[in-house]
Chain A
Amino acid sequence: MNARQSILDKLYQTRDLADFIPTKAEAPKLPTWNDQQKLEKFTQMISAVNGEVHSCEKNNWPHKLLEIAQQNKLGNLLHAPQTEWGAVLAAYFQATEHQLELLEYPQSIDEEGFKEKLFFSIDAAFTGSIGAIAETGTLIVWPNQHEPRLMSLVPPVHFCILEKEKIWNTFAELIENAGWQKGLPNNALLISGPSKTADIEQTLAYGAHGPSQLIVLVV
């Protein structure tokens, strides 16, 4: 008998023998906030774990991004001009004078030399988000064909844009209402701050394996 059948048989055969009646309990009441409070809560929570939040206008955020990039002496930035926000960014950079080299993700990570470049010489990446969660200061990021998984992970600085009307109260509220049950992308992420660890003496250190800086541009 194969392992699958054997395990399932054991579980099926024992389940009725054991008089195990699961307890029942209602979901506790979850916090809700108004739009202004949600933004404040989000900002407070993500800032507490070293996320940097900048509130911008719909028309000046690329300027803000450039400013931060210059302050941080970033040499290059990975972006996806095929996306709505990426296109705005690309247009702004075309019309502006700057030293920042704009890069694009090639057709595939396996393209000659790109993986090495991504791992060892790309300074920053810019991606969109599909919203946020106020309670925990969390960005919701769905990687896609234009902004693949490694964009928000490998470069040391991650810029992420967030539309302030898209902030949920809690993760539970999001799951209840966003229809994710109908189908999830191959990868969905919740990101709450830059990468961190407390594995040495419980002392917090940022920039463990993922980005050491997470910069959120709220529009």
Chain B
Amino acid sequence: MSNSQKYTPNTSATSHIPVRQNDFNHQAHDALNDGQLRTNFRRAMDGLIAKRTAQFPDSDDLEARRLHAEAIRQRCLNKLPQLLEQLESNLKANGIKVHWAETAEQACEIIYGISECHQAKSMIKGKSMVSEEIELNHFMAERGIDCLESDMGEYIVQLAEEKPSHIIMPAIHKNAVEVAKLFEDKIPDHSYTEDIDELIQTGRRELRKAFFNADIGLSGVNFMVAETGTLCLVENEGNGRMSTHVPPVHVAVTGIEKVVEFLSDVPPLYHLLTRSATGQPITTYFNMISGPRGENEKDGPKEVHLVLLDNGRSQAYADAQMRKTLQCIRCGACMNHCPVYSRIGGHAYKTVYPGPIGKIISPHMMGLEQTKDLPSASTLCGACGDVCPVKIPIPSLLQRLRIELKRVVSSNDPQQVNMKGAGAGYNAIEARVWKIFSWIYSSRYRYKMLSWMASRFGKLLPNIGPVAVWSKVRSKPVPANKTLHQLMEQRSRQASGQSNGSDK
């Protein structure tokens, strides 16, 4: 396909996720000044919030379901290694081949290896964020294999040579006019239209040819069931079914945390997933794959492979608090409700997973050096934690990551978690300032002295450094003439004076 040849991700092969250090502030700034982008996001987020709300009319029922889902995810995580082994043996018994990858490179190598075995020239992809995480398209393109995205949103993003800006709706940053122009530019024999049905029909036509011709189909996985050895895929379009049923080989790639123990764990999670994500009671398709084409079967892939990816997940797993990050079922509700995400969009984060979930998972995948700005790219308003269907305490995880970022890393502290890039945000001056701060605040006299001085001389605070930054768009903070303590003392003196007076 001509369009797939045009697609060359602008990333280097070594750092799989494109990150320019300390760039978040600039990216956010640019995004905030992009009126079209902000309109597109605001409209989309408002729509998603309303649709989700409409699905949960009964808040008690919602809370009960969230507690149940949280319990399921935590139970399964607690048995993660056992469940992975059980899953592997059941999948094998069902005829599905299982591969393990510690890093993104390993996962790419495995998938490339499978393609080579089949002399594959082209790969059709159902939606998979993990394949974005490992930068698979780029890896395969360098080795002469075309990867074409078949989810409509991913297809649009790929045509535009961009990255997804949302984990559920990859092309949410674009409006119909932008898509119309893109299709006119990139798709032969397609004439300009802003009619969404026509645009989708064009996508359908183009992709049908690709499904028909593809040598390999790749997909993600939403839930893996250990008990039965089943891969579950959630989707609306049918591209996931096409990618997994049409080509002779199907490769699924997913993170190790996606395993659940029982088949009965699936319905409660699925119930919350679609409602939280897009406000749908259910998706059009729930595709449960437990084996390749059987002897009597007339279609379906002859081989099914599963690639299990770690890529930092075991690091999060090692810590009791951060392990909760892995409860995520990737519904995207946290980003839809995030005041930061909804203003800057997904690209400003420069991580594969944007928004609140991205801020807590990316540091494990990429290390804290590369994601320094993320833990503080939050107002800690708590909306993400409130809507998360599996009750991940995102705000407190962000606070924890802030601590990890600033920690003094010492090699002889056995309690210290082994977090990649811990201490990357350590700043000697800042640490000194906080030391002084705590020295003053831990003594009543020093504290009194400071507040006395602040109330007398605070007005003289020079407009430099952080004060200058703060006062650029706000008025300069001026400490009050009297401290709260002084005011309270004064009040109680007055009150007791009055009551004494009335006694007489």
Q: Interface residues, chain A, CB within 8 Å of chain B?
A: 2-4, 6-8, 10-12, 14-15, 17-20, 22-28, 45, 49, 105-109, 115-116, 119-120, 135-138, 143-145, 148-150, 153-154, 170-172, 174-176, 180-181, 183-203, 205, 207-211
Contact of B298 with A109 in the complex, beta carbons under 8 Å: yes
B405 within 8 A of A: no
- By size class, the interface of chain B is 35 or more
A175 to B299 Cα, complex, angstroms: 26
Contact of A115 with B317 in the complex, beta carbons under 8 Å: no
Q: A171-B270, A175-B266 are in contact. List 11 more A-B contacts (CB 8 A).
A: A8-B84, A49-B284, A153-B242, A189-B286, A196-B236, A197-B152, A197-B200, A201-B175, A201-B179, A202-B169, A208-B237
User: CB < 8 Å: which of A12, A120, A198 contacts B278?
Assistant: A198
Contact of A108 with B314 in the complex, beta carbons under 8 Å: no
Of residues 195 through 211 on chain B, the ones whose CB sits less than 8 Å from some CB of chain A are 196-197, 199-201, 203-204, 207-208, 211
Distance (Å) between the CB of B160 and the closest chain A CB?
A: 13
Contact of B64 with A115 in the complex, beta carbons under 8 Å: no
User: CB < 8 Å: which of B102, B171, B238, B298 contacts A105?
Assistant: B298
Distance (Å) between the CB of B238 and the closest chain A CB?
A: 3
Contact of A25 with B285 in the complex, beta carbons under 8 Å: no
Chain B interface, >50% SS class: helix
> Which residues on B sit within 8 Å (CB–CB) of A136?
281-282
User: CB < 8 Å: which of A7, A15, A27, A201 contacts B78?
Assistant: A15
Of residues 241 through 294 on chain B, the ones whose CB sits less than 8 Å from some CB of chain A are 241-242, 245-246, 256, 262-264, 266-268, 270-271, 278, 281-294
Contact of B228 with A183 in the complex, beta carbons under 8 Å: yes
Q: Which residue of A lies closest to B265 (CB)?
A: A175
User: CB < 8 Å: which of A26, A175, A176 contacts B68?
Assistant: A26
12 A/B residue pairs, CB under 8 Å, sorted by A? A7-B256, A10-B314, A14-B314, A14-B317, A22-B75, A49-B284, A105-B298, A149-B241, A171-B270, A175-B264, A189-B286, A207-B204
Contact of B176 with A203 in the complex, beta carbons under 8 Å: yes
Contact of B237 with A22 in the complex, beta carbons under 8 Å: no
Of residues 48 through 94 on chain B, the ones whose CB sits less than 8 Å from some CB of chain A are 48, 61, 64-65, 67-68, 70-71, 74-75, 77-78, 80-81, 84-85, 94
Q: Which residue of B lies closest to A10 (CB)?
A: B314
B239 within 8 A of A: yes
Of the candidate stretches B3-11, B318-326, B449-457, the one touching chain A is B318-326
Contact of B208 with A192 in the complex, beta carbons under 8 Å: no
User: CB < 8 Å: which of A12, A28, A105, A187 contacts B287?
Assistant: A187
Q: Interface residues, chain B, CB within 8 Å of chain A?
A: 43-44, 47-48, 61, 64-65, 67-68, 70-71, 74-75, 77-78, 80-81, 84-85, 94, 100-102, 106, 150-153, 156, 169-172, 174-176, 179, 196-197, 199-201, 203-204, 207-208, 211-212, 227-228, 230, 236-239, 241-242, 245-246, 256, 262-264, 266-268, 270-271, 278, 281-294, 296-300, 308, 310, 314, 317-320, 323
A18 to B77 Cα, complex, angstroms: 12
User: CB < 8 Å: which of B174, B200, B289, B319 contacts A186?
Assistant: B289
> Which residues on A sit within 8 Å (CB–CB) of B68?
25-28
Total contacts A to B, CB within 8 angstroms?
Answer: 258
Contact of B264 with A176 in the complex, beta carbons under 8 Å: yes
A10 to B237 Cα, complex, angstroms: 38
Contact of B299 with A25 in the complex, beta carbons under 8 Å: no
> Which residues on B sit within 8 Å (CB–CB) of A116?
212
> Which residues on B sit within 8 Å (CB–CB) of A187?
245, 287-291, 300
> Which residues on B sit within 8 Å (CB–CB) of A6?
102
Contact of B314 with A192 in the complex, beta carbons under 8 Å: no
Contact of B264 with A210 in the complex, beta carbons under 8 Å: no
Q: Which residue of A lies closest to B230 (CB)?
A: A184
Distance (Å) between the CB of B148 and the closest chain A CB?
A: 13
Most buried by A among B171, B179, B241, B289: B241
Q: Which residue of B lies closest to A211 (CB)?
A: B238
User: CB < 8 Å: which of A7, A15, A109 contacts B100?
Assistant: A7
> Which residues on A sit within 8 Å (CB–CB) of B266?
171, 175
Contact of A24 with B241 in the complex, beta carbons under 8 Å: no
Q: Which residue of B lies closest to A153 (CB)?
A: B241
> Which residues on A sit within 8 Å (CB–CB) of B176?
200-201, 203
> Which residues on A sit within 8 Å (CB–CB) of B150?
209
Contact of B320 with A181 in the complex, beta carbons under 8 Å: no
Known: A14-B317, A15-B78, A192-B282. A22 touches B293 (CB 8 A): no
> Which residues on A sit within 8 Å (CB–CB) of B286?
138, 189-190
Distance (Å) between the CB of B430 and the closest chain A CB?
A: 30
A188 to B351 Cα, complex, angstroms: 35
Distance (Å) between the CB of A170 and the closest chain B CB?
A: 7
Q: Which residue of A lies closest to B201 (CB)?
A: A207
Contact of B70 with A200 in the complex, beta carbons under 8 Å: no
A207 to B281 Cα, complex, angstroms: 19
Contact of A209 with B239 in the complex, beta carbons under 8 Å: yes
